[in-house]
Structure 1
Amino acid sequence: MDAVTKGTAAGTAVIQDEAAAAVALDPVRARLLRALREPGSATSLAAELGLTRQKVNYHLRALESHGLVELVEERRKGNMTERVLRATASAYVVSPQAWALVAPDPAREPDRLSAQWLLALAARLLREVGTLITRAGRKRVATFAIDGEVRFATAADRAAFAHELGEAVSTLVARYHDGAAPGGRPHRLVVALHPALPDTGTAPETGTETDVEITTRTEESP
Structure 2
Amino acid sequence: MLDIEVIEDPAAAEASLDPIRTRILQELAEPGSATQLAAKVGLPRQKVNYHLKALERHGLVELVEERRKGNVTERVLRATAASYLISPVALQSVAPDPRRFADRFSAFWLLALAGRMVQEMGKLIAGAAAARQKLATFAIDGEITFRTAADRAAFAEDLGVAVTRLVDQYHHGGAGGRKHRLVVALHPALKPDAQDSTKTIPAKEQDND
Shorter-chain TM-score tier: 0.5 to 0.7
Q: 2:142 aligns with which of 131, 148, 164?
A: 148
Q: CA deviation at 1:18?
A: 3.7
Partner of 1:133: 125
Partner of 2:187: 194
TM-score of the superposition, structure 2-length normalised? Answer: 0.54
1:87-166 map, 5 Å: 93-94=85-86, 97-98=89-90, 102-137=94-129, 138-166=132-160
1:25-44 map, 5 Å: 33-34=18-19
TM-score of the superposition, structure 1-length normalised? Answer: 0.51
Select the structure that is richer in helix: 2
The alpha-carbon distance between structure 1 residues 189 and 124, as it changes in their structure 2 partners (threshold 3 A), is same
Partner of 1:41: none
Decide whether the 8 Å contact of 2:7 with 2:84 is kept in 1.
yes
- Secondary structure of 2:99's counterpart equals coil
Aligned residues: 141
Q: Which amino acid in 2 is paired with 1:163?
A: E
Q: Percent identity?
A: 54
CA–CA distance in 1 between the matches of 2:12 and 2:119? 17
Uncovered stretches (5+) of structure 2, i.e. residues with no partner: 24-42, 44-50, 56-78, 197-209
Q: CA deviation at 1:159?
A: 0.5
The alpha-carbon distance between structure 1 residues 19 and 110, as it changes in their structure 2 partners (threshold 3 A), is farther
The alpha-carbon distance between structure 1 residues 161 and 126, as it changes in their structure 2 partners (threshold 3 A), is same
CA–CA distance in 1 between the matches of 2:116 and 2:126? 15
My pick for the range that moved more, 99-108 or 188-197, is: 99-108
Matched, 1:175 2:151: no
Select the structure that is richer in strand: 1
RMSD: 3.7
Decide whether the 8 Å contact of 1:100 with 1:127 is kept in 2.
no
Decide whether the 8 Å contact of 2:88 with 2:95 is kept in 1.
no
Uncovered stretches (5+) of structure 1, i.e. residues with no partner: 1-6, 39-71, 73-85, 204-222
Q: Deviations over 1:18-37 (max 9, x none)?
A: 4775x799xxxx6xx44886
Decide whether the 8 Å contact of 1:96 with 1:128 is kept in 2.
no
Q: Deviations over 1:10-66 (max 9, x none)?
A: xx9975534775x799xxxx6xx448868xxxxxxxxxxxxxxxxxxxxxxxxxxxx
My pick for the range that moved more, 87-96 or 142-151, is: 87-96
Q: CA deviation at 1:130?
A: 1.0
Q: Which amino acid in 2 is paired with 1:192?
A: A
Q: CA deviation at 1:174?
A: 1.1
Which structure's relative contact order is higher, taking Cα pairs within 8 Å and 6+ residues apart? 2
